[in-house]
Amino acid sequence: MTVGHVDVLALAQRLAAAPERPGGEAAEAVSMPVIRQWCAAMGDRNPCYTDAATAVGSVHDGPVAPPAMVQVWTMPGLDRRAGGTPADEVLSALRASGYTGVVATNCEQDYDRYLRPGELPRTTTRLGAVTGPKLTALGDGYFITWHTTWYSGEQRVARMTFRLLQFRPADPAASPPESASAQGPYPLRPAINADTAFFWAGAKAGELRIQRCGGCGKLRHPPGPMCAHCHSAAHDYVVASGRGEIFTYVVHHHPPVPGKKTPFAVAVIQLPEGVRVTGNVLAVPPDQLRIGMPVEVTYERADDDLVLPQWKPTRDGADVLPELAVPLTTTMVVTTAIATRDFTPVHHDRAAARAQGAPDIFLNILTTMGLVQRFVTDWAGPGAIVRSIAVRLGAPAYAGDTLTLAGWVTDRGADGSVAIGVRGVCGLGDHVTGAVRLDLPGGGGRLAERSAPR
């Protein structure tokens, strides 16, 4: 029963020290039927992948393969055993020792250029860090990282860092399927008194109310009994526009806070009305916040009696991408797994998923990559060139759930490059957080046009 984690780590250390190893050519050349099937499964209608007439003369000058498909071409497939890469050696050593569960956790891809139909890519792979054993929610396991490079001929076309958790499944009977926790009263209740009641009543009514001095008319926040400028005790309030920008923020990681999932951001929001208000910034992973980010108020119902004014990126202009809700039907989970040539049973076989402690089959990471790419290029348009996609997976996205993708611009280069932050939420919480870098030929100045509904 013991694996010897020393043996695994010694093997990993030996393999990691070795030079990168050729992983062989793709079984078949990049081809239009496989691209079309992938696009159909993902719901990606970007014409540069499938429509030669549109693509010719565009920035791509002919159909190209979706960049997030790069891994698809060299997947082992149904008829070939995985094997041959240094990562495979570690994976099979662990599997033989009872670490039969596997979930991908991270994938970062950088694209030098898009592949075209007819090309026959090949890979080289190098093992990265292997860490463990670690006790995770799924069971104890090892995190395994590897680095793959794709070439077409001698030319490098893409690079990837991939990480997965290989674990010994905990007894499914012992851990009931995760479910949303029962809603009780929100534990962090503000102290509501005569001076602040108007503010909380405003939040319930969907208004951000700022106290105004009845003597000199100055606004103040937080509310108080007396004006610091003219010492008048008279006051009323104004309703703020609900817009602002992040003046500063902190990210709380530890210790745990009742009612909050860490990490979370506490920000000071500068309002155009002249005062600053604190709140949490929702809808954006804390590591993608920046000072100066435009935000707008959103009202979070904490429980039956309490509404909290919180903040999220503004919805206007080109700073926020239109949301995309993807229904994860069983058919969709299966067809995307097949279209990405990922035949791992947990993505198409419910019994296999249950044996690993999951309530149902779940989306594979190649599909999450594909959906993130679709979401971002739907917004940016067919002229955009995807330079990199990096995702981190959180809660699994099970069949029957809906994945809702939200995104916002985190950076714009003068050369037309744009960085997008992405977050995909499903019933169990954050399924994916990620970052995408795009080039927009012709510069970034036409972004507002591009983001108009098409």
Residues at the contact surface with Zn ion, assessed by CB under 5 A: 213, 215-216, 218, 227, 229-230, 232
Nearer to Zn ion, 87 or 227 (CB): 227
Q: How far is the CB of 220 from Zn ion (least distance, A)?
A: 8
Query: In the complex, what is the shortest distance from the CB of residue 212 to Zn ion, in angstroms, rounded to a whole number?
Result: 9
Interatomic CA distance for residues 372 and 326, integer angstroms = 11
Residues 6+ apart with CB under 8 A from 161: 106, 107, 108, 128, 145, 146, 147
Nearest distance, CB of residue 253 and Zn ion, angstroms = 40
Q: With respect to Zn ion, which residue has the nearer C-beta, 189 or 229?
A: 229
Round to whole Å and give the CA distance between 436 and 303: 35
Q: Give least dist CB 275 to Zn ion, A.
A: 13
Compare residues 205 and 230 and give the one whose CB is closer to Zn ion.
230
Q: Which is nearer to Zn ion, 230 or 448 (CB)?
A: 230
Q: What are the φ/ψ torsions at residue 14 (nearest 5 degrees)?
A: -65, -45
Question: Would you say 205 or 216 has its CB closer to Zn ion?
Answer: 216
Q: Please enumerate, as own/partner, the contacts of 280-283 that have beta carbons within 8 Å and a separation of 24 or more.
A: 280/308, 280/310, 280/311, 281/246, 281/249, 281/310, 281/311, 281/312, 282/310, 282/311, 282/312, 283/312, 283/313, 283/406, 283/423
DSSP conformational letter for 317: T
- Measured from the Cβ of residue 112, the count of other Cβ atoms closer than 10 Å reads 15
Q: Provide the minimum distance between the beta carbon of 218 and Zn ion in the complex, in angstroms, as a whole number.
A: 5
Supply the minimum distance, in Å, between the C-beta of residue 238 and Zn ion. Answer: 14
Closest contact distance (angstroms) between CB of 223 and Zn ion is 13
Residue 260 Cβ vs Zn ion, minimum distance, rounded to whole Å: 36
Q: What is d(CA 88, CA 90) in angstroms, rounded to the nearest whole number?
A: 5
CB 289 within 8 A of CB 267: yes
Taking the complex as a whole, the smallest distance from the CB of residue 228 to Zn ion amounts, in Å, to 8
Structure tokens at 47: 């014409």
Task: CB nearer to Zn ion: give 147 or 220.
Answer: 220
Residue 174 is which amino acid? A
Cα atoms in the 13 Å half-sphere on the side-chain side of 190: 20
Could you identify the residue written with the tokens 């396991």? Answer: 141
Q: 229 vs 253, which CB is nearer to Zn ion? A: 229
Q: CB count, 10 Å around CB of 84?
A: 16
Helices and strands (DSSP H and E) totals, the chain: 11, 18
Both tokens of 34, joined, read 């496989």
Q: Which is nearer to Zn ion, 204 or 229 (CB)?
A: 229
* Alpha-carbon span 340 to 370, nearest angstrom: 9
Which residue number, 105 or 232, has a Cβ lying nearer to Zn ion? 232
Identity of the residue, 236 or 305, whose beta carbon is nearer to Zn ion in the bound complex: 236
The token pair that represents 218 in the structure block: 């100055």
Return the number of the residue (213 or 395) whose C-beta is nearest Zn ion.
213
Nearest in space to 273 (alpha carbons), one of 321, 211, 346, 226: 211
The runs of H, that is alpha helices, within 51-160 are 52-55, 70-73, 86-95
Q: How far is the CB of 276 from Zn ion (least distance, A)?
A: 18
Q: How far is the CB of 225 from Zn ion (least distance, A)?
A: 12
Is the peptide bond between 172 and the residue preceding it cis, with omega within 30 degrees of 0? no
Secondary structure element (H or E) that encloses residue 368, with its range: helix 365-380
CB of 219 to Zn ion, least distance (A): 10
Decide whether 153 or 274 has the Cβ nearer to Zn ion.
Answer: 274
Residue 368 contacts residue 432 (beta carbons within 8 Å): yes
